[in-house]
Amino acid sequence: MNDKNKFKGVAFMFIVLIRAIILYFIVVFIMRIMGKRQIGQLQPFELVIALMVSELAAMPMQNTSIPLFHGIIPIITLLVLQVLISTLQLKSETARIIFCGKPSILIEKGKINIQELRNNRLNLNDLLEELRLKDYYNLEDIEYAILETGGQISIIPKSESEPATRKDLNVKSSQDMLPVTLILDGKINSKNLKLINKDKFWLNSQLNKKNISSADQVFLALLDSKGKFVYQLKKEGK
């Protein structure tokens, strides 16, 4: 009898494991299709769908008496709904306002719009904290502060408070490039080498200049934004 109960317990855990794996890949696939927004940048309707998807995925895992398709079909339905709403937003300004709202001007010409703070249920301390996080400590330096539909605050500083650029100072400079990883944990990235029109012979010559005999010794090697060869050996991270 005990052996039979143990077998049932093992079979139950195996079923739960398989369901969890299947639902995991389904939810990851669904979230990838929904887009690449970070959690803090989700629109309200996108956040609702994300929460509902997670709840629907949890139900068949917690209760094996619920057929797996009873969780999968509603998840796919929510995906279709999200795609339809997103498409509708692209084609209709009215739909975009209904589902996402519209930006709110919290500060205009250095003056706080108290009514907009109340409308968005945002207190003054929260606003000042957001300004400090963006390195603005004086309201007089801000021309506009806008609460975006995703919850972030965009700041347009007054012209006289903007930092000087190299162009303003007539300083010549070269354009930075994207850093390119060439070796990661001892593995050479041949695709990135081809991307910068280099080969393994060139990479080995760079390593030899640094008295490195093999890529296996390298934890990380890359071309930085200035085109400089930068590396760290595995032993240096211990």
Domain boundaries of the chain, sorted by first residue: 2-97, 104-161, 180-237
Say what the alpha-carbon torsion angle 233, 234, 236, 238 is, to the nearest 10 degrees: 180
Residue 23 Cα distances to 13, 38, 51, 58, 178, angstroms: 15, 21, 15, 8, 36
DSSP run (H or E) holding 64: none
Q: Which is the CATH superfamily of the domain at 180-237?
A: bsu07140 like domains (3.30.240.20)
Kindly provide the b/e burial profile for residues 116-143, where b requires at least 16 CB atoms within 10 angstroms of the residue's own CB: bbeeeebeeeebeebbeeeebeeeebbe
Mean pLDDT of the chain, nearest integer: 82
Query: What are 5-44's pLDDT values in tens digits?
Result: 666 666 767 777 888 888 888 887 877 776 655 555 667 7
Under the banding of pLDDT at 50, 70 and 90, the label for residue 73 is confident
pLDDT reading at 231 higher than 60: yes
| CATH class of segment(s) 104-161 | alpha beta
Candidate from 41-55, 110-124, 189-203, 224-238 with smallest mean pLDDT:
41-55
Query: What are 122-167's pLDDT values in tens digits?
Result: 888 889 899 999 888 888 889 999 998 878 899 998 877 777 677 7
pLDDT reading at 87 higher than 90: no
End-to-end CA distance of the chain: 53
Tell me whether domains 104-161 and 180-237 share a fold.
yes
